Amino acid sequence: MKKYLLSSALLLASFSLFAEKATKQPEPDQVKNFSFYDMNGKTHNFSDYKGKWVLVNYWATYCPPCRDEIPDIQRFANDNKDKMVVLGMDAGGSEKNEIEAFKKEFGITYPLIPAQESTLLAFGLIMGIPTSFVVTPKGQIVDKFVGIITYDDLDYHVNPPIFKAALAN
């Protein structure tokens, strides 16, 4: 009988531990601070942007889907400049003059960051472009998009639907 009770107790304990682990949500990855330079050669640290949402968008001048997503990213950046910073990280190794022409062609006002080791390795291996990471004001990665990111994708995180519903009432 003692054997039966002990077995039952152990089984019950293991089920409760499993249930706890199964329902516990993993913590989002924290972005490790890294340094990078902008088009003017000025050095920045990723930690400079804590307190705001950050969209880290990897792109290339020759990438058609990258070109297609720019209007939505630019419009969202304009509409949410107090809440979000967009960092356009070149992943194509374009020359500075190519990046400047690209910026002018698309009317981009957010910072475009030339390709450099620190930016290309900061979020792990980039498997394709465009790739975007949505980072919370606390520096946590809450979403990754491989492919085109839209205005609505960004809005979902920065202006969650639950808050919009509360404001509408």
In CATH terms, 29-168 corresponds, of 3.40.30.10, 1.10.760.10, 1.20.1090.10, 3.20.20.140, to 3.40.30.10
Taking the C-alpha atoms of residue 7 and residue 4, their distance in angstroms, rounded to an integer, is 5
Rounded to two decimals, what is the model's pTM?
A: 0.80
Tens of pLDDT, residues 145-164: 999 999 999 999 999 887 55
Each domain of the chain, given as residue ranges in start order, spans 29-168
Bridging pattern class, strands 43-45 and 53-59:
unpaired
Q: φ and ψ at 85, to 5 degrees?
A: -115, 135
| pLDDT per residue rounded down to tens, the chain (169 residues) | 444 433 443 333 344 444 444 445 567 789 999 999 999 999 999 999 999 999 999 999 999 999 999 999 999 999 999 999 999 999 999 999 999 999 999 999 999 999 999 999 999 989 899 999 999 999 999 999 999 999 999 999 999 887 555 555 5
pLDDT for res 5: 38
On whether the CB atoms of residues 78 and 110 are closer than 8 A, the answer is: no
Distances (CA, A) of 134 to 29, 127, 143, 154, 169: 11, 17, 5, 8, 28
